[in-house]
Amino acid sequence: MAENSNYTNVEALPEIVGRMHKSFDSGKTRPLEYRKQQIRNVLKMLDENKEELAQAMAKDMGKPRFEAFAHEIMPAEYEAGQFLAHMDKWLKPEKPFLAGEYPIFLFDSGTVQKSPQGVVLIISPWNYPIRLSLNPLIGAIAAGNTVVMKLSEICEHTTALTKTLIEKYLDPDCVQVVLGGPEETGQLMKQRFDHFFYTGNPAVGKIVGRAAMDQLAKVTLELGGKNPTFVANSCLDISTAASRIMWGKTINCGQTCVAPDYVLAEKDVYAPLVKAMSLYPESVFGKNIKSSPDFGRVVSKRQFDRLYNLLSTTKGKFVTGSLEECDPETLYIPPTIITDIGLDDPLMQDEIFGPILPVISIDSIDEGLDIVKTKEYPLALYAFANKKDSSFILQNTRSGSISINDTVLQMVTARLPFGGFGNSGLGSYSGKYSIDVFSHQRTVLNRSISFPPPGVDSVRMPPYENWKY
Ligand code: NAD
């Protein structure tokens, strides 16, 4: 974003957040029909502005048009549609039969209500700027909250347009958008919120977590990590494995939180796998990848320099891609497969978050598991293997999610929760799981005043001297 010119004045923050508290307290966001209308407004907003949004994402990171629609706009539309179809059911209170446990509750009722929490702060990242801001927003609204959104300053075109559209289509008593960088976000997090919902890198996740704990507010952290990808000797189809791995690695130019980060290939399949993977870029993007409309760009010079530095310092062998092909002017980094690296290589330290994929040969799955265990728990883990090997990997690892025989697709359905574990996140959301995340499970016990009769009711009260066990 042009140096701070569009950032929200920090002096306005107390009023912006205060307005959301006031509106929540007024009860305006409680009626289900109100919530649904706001979600319909999100759908209308997407429907009437999809081309502009796709163009903004193309400007920010060369996001291919197909990816802008299929990976951003359509998932947000799908999420909104799922809520409109199912939120009545998802929001229904649970009603356990209390007297089944204690007969004294015979004339009573106990419910677990999905109550709104209050004001939710959603801080979203640049890599999937539409779905990662709108999908949590839809869940937070459906649960009856008011929302303050802090969109990423890194994808300036998409952020500016999203702010304008939210202000045009949604009720300002329900959602407010704040713009800014770390400084403004730090000030924003000093305001009172009932829930901090953050998507981004783990280092900032810790800052957000501390800010939430300062207020003892609920916090959800959707973070990242190095996602291991096993390819076992037992994998039935190396060619499909290769293309699914390379697809997951090259969409959005590798800037996907669940992208495969490194491949651990058992030695019998290592050579055919690398060969099959190396054919992928040219087969889908053509001979001149740089001119393909289907391959995106790195989001910023800072990210380009970070990735270029990794490629300059790796001791590995380039199977595809090269330093010479990287172009700082257009922020182009080609799909790059690297082999023959040690675990101390720069590529094996932090999350790569770009179109670079190291492939490591392992003697056994056990050896791969030892490598995975030296790292923080990843957001996603992939296993291309038969049933026996994949369940062995499943049982001997921890991660936010695991997908067997494919990559990335575990996050496309609203019927599975999406989230990390440990360093890759805290809490998960999507579809009905968003209702759980953005609601307070409020216990309500409603007792009869006349049952049990006073003589029985007083058994629990002192004096206790006649009580026998
Ligand atoms: P980013 O730079 O856009 O930052 C995310 C948000 O944090 C932005 O709104 C930004 O303004 C804010 N922020 C930055 N510094 C801050 C600070 N010091 N204090 C408070 N707020 C601050 O995005 P990013 O972090 O570069 O995103 C990439 C990372 O996010 C990767 O690690 C990726 O794996 C992860 N990610 C996770 C998910 C998920 O759903 N789990 C999704 C996408 C990305």
Ranges of H-type helices in 252-386: 267-285, 301-313, 365-373
Rg (CA), the chain: 25
Candidate of 10, 126, 221, 301 to mutate for ligand 1, largest count of ligand atoms within 8 Å of Cβ: 126
Percent of the chain with pLDDT over 70: 99
* Coil/strand/helix, residue 226: coil
Compute the distance between CA of residue 446 and CA of residue 83 in angstroms, rounded to an integer: 30
Q: Which residue has the tokens 């265990």?
A: 373
Say whether pLDDT at 296 is over 80. Answer: yes
Residue 467: what pLDDT? 79
257 assigned to active site? yes
Tell me the pLDDT of the chain averaged across its residues.
Answer: 96
pLDDT of 4 strictly over 70: no
pLDDT of res. 466: 78
* Element housing 74 (H / E): helix 74-90
Nearest CA to ligand 1 atom 37: 223
Average pLDDT over residues 221-235: 98
The pLDDT of residue 22: 98
Cα separation, 171 vs 149, in Å, equals: 13
Rounded average pLDDT over 290-307: 98
| Residue ranges in 314-453 assigned as alpha helix (H) | 365-373, 387-395, 432-438
State pTM to two decimals.
0.96
Q: Checking DSSP bridges between strand 228-231 and strand 428-429, what pairing results, if any?
A: unpaired
Model confidence pLDDT, tens digit, residues 163-182: 999 999 999 999 999 999 99
Q: What is the pLDDT of residues 335-393, one digit of tens each?
A: 999 999 999 999 999 999 999 999 999 999 999 999 999 999 999 999 999 999 999 99
Instruction: For ligand 1, say whether the CB of 181 is within 6 Å of any of its atoms.
Output: yes
**Is the pLDDT assigned to residue 469 strictly greater than 70?**
yes
Q: Ligand 1 centroid to 224 CA: how many Å?
A: 9
Q: Which two tokens stand for residue 61?
A: 């990171």
Residue listed under structure tokens 């305001």: 191
- 253 catalytic residue (yes or no): no
Residues in the chain: 469
Q: What residues form DSSP beta bridges with 426?
A: 221
**For residue 125, which atom of ligand 1 is closest to its CA?**
3
61 CB less than 6 Å from ligand 1?
A: no
Catalytic residue (one of 77, 222, 266, 376): 222
Query: What pLDDT is recorded for position 453?
Result: 87
Residue whose pair of structure tokens reads 């801080």 in the numeric block? 123
* In contact, 138 and 83? CB cutoff 8 Å: yes
List 412's β-bridge partners, or say none. none
> Could you tell which of 8, 149, 185 is best to mutate to test the pocket of ligand 1, judged by most ligand atoms within 8 Å of the CB?
185
The per-residue pLDDT for 280 is: 98
Residue of 223, 410, 418 to test ligand 1 pocket, by largest number of atoms within 8 Å of CB: 223
* Ligand 1 proximity of 199 Cβ (cutoff 6 Å): yes
The 10 Å CB-count burial string (b at 16+, else e) for 130-159 is: bbbbbbbbbbbbbbbbbbbbbbbbbbbbbb
Tens digits of residue pLDDT in 431-440: 999 999 999 9
| Structure-token pair, residue 65 | 């048009």
How far is 255 from 128, CA to CA, in rounded Å? 9
CB atoms within 10 A of CB 69: 18
Q: What share of the chain is helix, strand, coil (3-state, %, to 5)?
A: 45, 15, 35
Cβ neighbours for 181, distance < 8 A, ≥ 6 positions apart: 1, 4, 7, 153
Distance CA 175, CA 342 (A): 49
Cβ–ligand 1 contact at 152 (below 6 Å): yes
123 lines ligand 1 (CB under 6 A): yes
pLDDT digits (tens, 9 = 90+) for 8-66: 999 999 999 999 999 999 999 999 999 999 999 999 999 999 999 999 999 999 999 99
Distance CA 469, CA 465 (A): 11
What residues contact residue 213 under an 8 Å CB cut-off, 6+ apart? 219
Q: Are 138 and 86 in contact (CB under 8 A)?
A: no
Within 13 Å and on the Cβ side, how many CA atoms surround 359?
Answer: 27
CA atoms 68, 69, 73, 76: torsion sign = negative
CB count, 10 Å around CB of 358?
A: 22
Annotated catalytic residue within 257, 266, 326, 376: 257
Contact call for residues 116 and 145 (beta carbons, < 8 A): yes
- ipTM, interface predicted TM-score of the complex: 0.96
Q: What distance in Å separates the CA atoms of residue 230 and residue 385, rounded to the nearest whole number?
A: 8
For residue 326, how far is the Cα from the chain centroid? 29
pLDDT tier at 192 (50, 70, 90 boundaries)?
A: very high
Q: Rounded to whole angstroms, what are the CA distances from 13 to 6, 8, 152, 188, 220?
A: 14, 8, 17, 6, 22
Specify the 3-state DSSP secondary structure of 149.
Answer: strand
Residue 469 CA to residue 256 CA, distance in Å, equals 61
Q: Outline where DSSP puts E strands in 214-290.
A: 218-222, 228-231, 262-266
> How far apart, in whole angstroms, are the C-alpha atoms of residue 298 and residue 303?
7
Amino acid at 228: P
Tell me: the pLDDT tens digits for 66-106?
999 999 999 999 999 999 999 999 999 999 999 999 888 99
If one compares 453 and 75, the residue with the highest pLDDT of the two is: 75
pLDDT in tens, 93-152: 999 999 999 888 999 999 999 999 999 999 999 999 999 999 999 999 999 999 999 999
